[in-house]
Structure 1
């Protein structure tokens, strides 16, 4: 990794006084190694001043989404969910890939455990009620969708509308001669947390839950929430899903079939609508 910094975005001027500049943050994380998701930054008097999240899967899209959700939820403590404030985010080149960094508030609280599925479900119930600020599926800013529906959990594609997303799924089914179809026309876009595991949540003494990870959290049609809850991979998520009041959907089985076709082909760009293909070729 070099000391080069790109796409630097500062989200807050209210940062710890001793927070190092981005180039030094990169050096500290390089020294700590890449076999972890982040490191605490400890100030001169031994207090943890910030958390440095970093890695090849950390993106600015995640940072922008976390900032938006933090502003939305932290203004309503009665909802029982807190999100760490983001100070800045940036990327830095590495010989193998680009490394993303999100520099955020450190919240001193224990991680949730596998027995905290009901408390995490309460937080998830709050998250899935958050409506999108616009009509563009994906993270804040309109990036690629990150969801377990897609191979490698990413669409690799920016959709401008739910109709484009719907057309893509139906085209996947059509070219594979499957009669099933999905319809998102009556659905709004809501926050859809997918990567639900105990390490992505902390529990505060006052009963609130802290949500830490927003990589696989996008604004999507409500059927994607139902899909995530009905097709969980891990035991903890299965337990959480039992206590989540997610919207019913008739699209889940057709989505599961379409997802299976993408897994078979090993990529997400099968059956793209013509207008999406034209946009990608420009």
Structure 2
């Protein structure tokens, strides 16, 4: 771990209620896109490097309670939840044929990106960064209520996932019941 002398995007705003600098937002969007272009091979278990629970805002309290050995297990759980609600299903197989993508799901103006004294960007918080199907990147960008994430999403050229509706419905059910194991 390195010490970076700089400041967060939140502290670069001129006043608490002002807008962000456009140059900061676009720079973060470029850096974010570079991060989500990092892939792991097909067949890799979803989650953090080395395995473990998935940190993502899809789950209740942003952390899965299960470890998923395959993307198929994660897909099966979500589809089981959806089976009881409607005829919408998610399909992660097609989008993960080329592998899983790095999904930084905790993008915040105060804790994810720091700008050093020379203007360089540093990703500083990987606590909820996992390798996941691309749908999870789309979910993080589109469903966030955080204004900073909304600004960054505007500049990130990332496709809207066809799985998004199903993911929103399944996540909503887990929140309602307060149970990440729903559908198991």
Residue 50 of structure 1 corresponds to none
Distance 2:67 2:34 in 1: 26
Do the aligned residues in 2 keep the contact of 1:151 with 1:266 (CA within 8 Å)?
yes
Do the aligned residues in 2 keep the contact of 1:225 with 1:247 (CA within 8 Å)?
no
Residue 266 of structure 1 corresponds to 178
Distance 1:128 1:241 in 2: 13
Task: From the two aligned structures, give the one with the greater strand fraction.
Answer: 1
Distance 2:79 2:174 in 1: 12
| Unpaired stretches in structure 1, ≥5 consecutive residues | 1-103, 273-282
Aligned residues: 168
Larger Rg: 1
Mapping of residues 108-257 of structure 1, within 5 Å? 108-113=5-10, 114-115=20-21, 116-132=24-40, 135-174=44-83, 176-188=84-96, 189-199=100-110, 200-257=112-169
TM value normalised by structure 1: 0.57
TM value normalised by structure 2: 0.86
| Unpaired stretches in structure 2, ≥5 consecutive residues | 11-19
- Tell me the C-alpha RMSD between the 2 structures: 1.4
Larger deviation, residues 201-210 vs 129-138 = 201-210
Distance 1:259 1:127 in 2: 24
CA deviation profile, 1:74-96 (whole Å, cap 9, x unmatched): xxxxxxxxxxxxxxxxxxxxxxx
Q: Once the 2 structures are TM-superposed, how far is the Cα of residue 196 of structure 1 from its aligned partner?
A: 1.0
Q: Which is bigger in relative contact order (C-alpha 8 A, separation at least 6)? A: 2
Do the aligned residues in 2 keep the contact of 1:139 with 1:219 (CA within 8 Å)?
yes
